[in-house]
Amino acid sequence: MIRSSRSKPTARLALTAGVLSLVTALAACTPGSDTSAPPPQATASSVQTDAAKLGDVTLLVWDQEVRGGQAAQMTALNTAFQAKYPNIKLKRVSRSFDDLKTTLRLALSGNEPPDVVEANNGRSDMGEFVKANQLVPLDPYAAAYGWDKRYPESVRQYSSYSADGKTFGQGNLYGLPQVGEIVGIYYSKKKLAAAGVQPPMTWDEFQSSLATLKAKGEPPLVLGNLEKWPAIHVFGTVQGRTTSADTIKQLAFGRKGATWKTPENLKAAQTLTDWVGKGYFNQGFNGQDYDPAWQGFSKGKGTYLIAGTWLQADLGKAMGDDVGFIVPPGASADAKPLATGGTGLPFAITAKSKHPEAAAAYLNFITSQDAMATLAKTGNLPVADTATQHVSPGLQQDVFNAFGKTVQAGGLVPYLDYATPTMYDTIGAALQDLLAGKTTPDQFVDRLEKDYGAFAAKNG
Amino acid sequence: MPSPRRTGSPPGEPRRIAYLYLLPGFVVYAAFLLYPLLRAVQLSFYDWDGLTLGRWIGLDNYREIVSDESLRSAFGHALILIVFFAVVPVCVGLLLASILNRAKVRGLPFFRTVVFLPQVVAMVVVAVAWRRIYAPDGSLNELLGALGLDSLQRGWLGDYALALPAVGFVGTWFETGLVTVLLLAGMSRISGDLYEAARLDGAGPVREFFAVTLPSVRGEIAVASTLTVIAALRTFDLVYVTTGGGPGNSTSVPSYEVYHRAFELGRVGSAAAVGVTLTLVILAISLVINRIGDRDTAQ
């Protein structure tokens, strides 16, 4: 008994000491690392653009090109790069988008981050990384390689931030995307012909075709909105008919000075409400999955599907000649094209990379004119030189034309959920509420204004 | 070689050495549970985006939980889920178990397996399957159509009033088996004498249930309730896969908010605060349940 009564306090003391030291250790270290110094900048004139002269280096590359045609183009380009520049060894790590998104933060703040990363361009990813000085501004390389000529401004804006990461859509260039995407209208040629309707050339024609098709019995618009984000694309498409590209950019990049409370935005919201009221959408769309919805469309349900070019390959395969794609039409047949869209995830160079020049050479290679041809060949939508690619006529040609034309006209406007870190949620939930008739267009724009306004004011 | 027995002390190794045996386990426990827990508590006092230097903001994250309507409602939804995950399964489980136990059904192991089966399947798989069942063109609506109840057809997970109950029902389906099997085990230990005595006193099946069965399985009910209540409060995968918190925010729950804030919004401090609060709520509720269970068995 003596032994135990003596050992107990000792153990307790040891335990208390242990807990105490743990607590003090925790209290001493503030989470995160202080990276207040911006990364060193290269100068355009000193950039060595001949990768063969860069010596033996190894590049660690993190990408998310894991599926089908994406994986095929990346493998092909990497092999070609290795063959051309044997002195630069590529170490590729590829993970799915979700895995990449959740692990990239930790990897970047670690001591040995990858040299090249494919980072989501939104504020909560690329914006945060820029703010934390973890990405290198690419402008000197852009000047040396001529990337500013390769990519039009409406494409570059998606990877541009001010140096403090606060302003999105302008400032330094932080990444180079390979592929583009645009939201348009897929339509079934057979269904239109059966209803005696021509593919719409103007927005009015589109709206009147909705009425004609609905009168035949079936809801013409296919929507699966269980995931909340699909409706953002539908709303963006309608908003593009009422609101100017500049205003949409300001709202969607979360820049100060615009407002949601405008007659144009109200009109767009009202249009959606009307469409629901008139029964233009399939029943129960808020409880319908996105994938089964477009698969239903490919099997002959509905006539129109408002969706992005990412569905092109699948829809083309399933529907063959029956399916067509148009940029959402404007007020007149020759109106300037305007559509929601963007780029694939851009490739960026990390600030801690020891070989930024080699990384830039790699970026240049996978976005070159030859690379764009490889991308088109493997079924992707290349972000540059789109209209000049030779592709099979039909849907793919439709999509390439739509994207090329819109980019050239500077009519590509960003996804609305880019605006603030919380906007994805806010607008997703707000649209579900609006479409379900739970809120009025007034309440809808108020809710978006609250999110956008609070952020824009705080962000400065 | 057996060591000579010490007199006057408990058998086995001396205490100090005994703690040494506990050390490996404790180190693992501390490294993977205590440290992350303390760290989470610490993070909850910071405004931190996961990248740049955090900023000490004291209790602001906790204040937000109280003041932010959507966070408050997330906790409210979790409490509603308790009804579906714990209360209903315990009631149904009691009924099922006592029927199975009384009737001495042939092939009891088979039924036990069938009832328990949902527990074997991973929650994500369950959620994907139910998402298809609830879809506008899913089996539930087809069934309603076949029964001529077309007016009831709807996109269940997109319906503001019904999405949360629909998600909750999956929980009921999932947890009932576990509860039933637990209670069956408890009931099989009840001595037949007690039932005989009750019957001699003229008790019918209902009276028998309340006088003999129910008091005897109080311990099992406490265990079942604790398990299911915790399952209800920490529900993440089910909501993540079926609704993502929608429609609107009508099915968001605290653990989904933790994920959402930490990984999607980059508000690590706030996520930690929600996590810590959820831990405290779970702790409090399970303490209460265990208190009730203990007191009842002591009677």
CB contact under 8 Å between A31 and B246, yes or no, is no
Note whether residue A254 is domain-resident: yes
Q: Domain check: are A170 and A262 in the same one?
A: no
Give Cα separations from B296 to B86, B155, B186, B293 (angstroms). 19, 44, 15, 5
Q: Compute CA B191 distance to the chain's CA centroid, rounded to the nearest angstrom.
A: 30
Whether A415 is covered by a domain: the verdict is: yes
Q: Are A274 and A324 found together in one domain?
A: yes
Using the Cβ of A103 and the Cβ atoms of chain B, whether some distance falls under 8 Å is answered with no
Query: What tokens does B131 get?
Result: 């998402």
A215, A100: one domain: no
Q: Is residue B260 part of a domain?
A: no
Q: Domain check: are A173 and A199 in the same one?
A: no
pLDDT tens, position by position, A390-406: 888 889 999 999 999 99
Which B residues, 154 through 213, put their C-beta within 8 Å of a C-beta on chain A? 154-160, 163
Shared domain check, A242 and A132? no
Closest-CA residue of A relative to B50 is: A32
Domain count within chain B: 1
A97 and A188 housed in the same domain? no
Stretch A226-254: mean pLDDT:
93
Q: Taking the model in full, what pTM does it have? A: 0.82
User: In this structure, is residue A46 part of a structural domain?
Assistant: no
Judge whether B211 lies within some domain.
yes
**Residue A3: what pLDDT?**
40
Q: Please state, in angstroms and rounded to a whole number, the distance separating the CA atoms of residues A426 and A419.
A: 11
Same-domain status, A348 and A337: no
- Give A88 or B292, the one with higher predicted confidence: A88
Is residue B131 less than 8 Å (CB to CB) from chain A? yes
Q: Decide if A59 is inside a domain.
A: yes
pLDDT (0 to 100) of residue A22: 55
* Structural domain containing residue A295: 182-342+400-457
Residue A379 has a pLDDT of: 83
How many residues does the structure list for chain B? 299
Whether residue B66 is contained in a domain is answered as no
CB-based contact B101:B209 (threshold 8 Å): no
**In terms of residue numbers, what domain contains B86?**
79-250
Task: Give pLDDT tens digits for A427-449.
Answer: 999 999 999 999 999 999 999 99
**A-B C-beta contacts closer than 8 Å:** 151
For residue A354 the two structure tokens come to 């020891």
In a domain, B137, yes or no: yes
Interval A355-388: pLDDT, tens: 999 999 999 999 999 999 999 988 889 998 887 8
Task: Identify all chain B residues contacting A8, using CB atoms and an 8 Å cutoff.
Answer: 15
Chain A interface includes B134 (CB < 8 A): yes
Residues A120-135: b if buried by 16+ CB within 10 A, e if exposed: bbbbbbbbbbbbbbbb
Q: Does some domain include residue A241?
A: yes
Tell me which of A163 and A100 has the higher pLDDT: A163
B113 reaches A (C-beta below 8 A): no
The answer to whether residue A14 sits within a structural domain is no
Residues A70 and A118 in one domain: yes
| Two tokens, residue A19 | 């807990």
In a domain, B48, yes or no: no
User: CA neighbours within 13 Å on the CB side: how many for A184?
Assistant: 31
Binding-face residues of B in 206-265 toward A, CB within 8 A? 243-249, 260, 263-265
A27 to chain B: which residues are within 8 Å by CB? 42
Interchain CB distance below 8 Å, B42 and A292 = no
Whether residue A246 sits in one domain with residue A187: yes
Q: Is residue B30 part of a domain?
A: no
Give the model's pLDDT for residue A25. Answer: 56
Query: Which residues in chain B have Cβ-Cβ distances shorter than 8 Å to A428?
Result: 246
- Per-residue pLDDT for B128 more than 60? yes
Task: Check whether residue A65 and residue A148 sit in a common domain.
Answer: yes
- Name every chain A residue with its beta carbon within 8 A of the beta carbon of B10: 4
- Chain B contact for A52, CB < 8 A? no
> Chain A, 326-355: which have a CB under 8 Å from a chain B CB?
none
Please state the φ and ψ torsions of residue A268, each to the nearest 5 degrees: -60, -45
CA dihedral A272, A276, A279, A284 (to 10 degrees): 130
CATH of the domain at A264: 3.40.190.10
Contact at 8 Å (CB) between B164 and B251? yes
Query: In Å, how far is B115's CA from the nearest CA of chain A?
Result: 29
For residue A145, being part of any structural domain is answered with yes
Q: What is the pLDDT of residue A2?
A: 37
Nearest to A1 among B8, B266, B267 (CB): B8
Distance of CA B229 to the CA centre of its chain: 4
Q: Could you tell me if B145 lies within 8 Å of chain A, comparing CB atoms?
A: no
Residue of chain B whose alpha carbon sits nearest to that of A133: B52
Q: Which residues of B touch A422 (CB under 8 A)?
A: 265
B15 domain residue, yes or no: no
**In this structure, is residue B24 part of a structural domain?**
no
- A307-362: per-residue pLDDT in tens? 999 888 889 889 999 999 999 999 998 899 999 999 989 999 999 899 999 999 99
- Domain total for chain A? 2
Output the domain CATH number for residue B170.
1.10.3720.10
Which CB contacts under 8 angstroms, 24+ apart, belong to A77-80?
A77/A365, A77/A366, A77/A371, A77/A374, A80/A365, A80/A370, A80/A374
- Of the three residues A388, A423, A449, the one that is the final residue of a domain is A388
User: CA-nearest residue of chain A to B51?
Assistant: A32
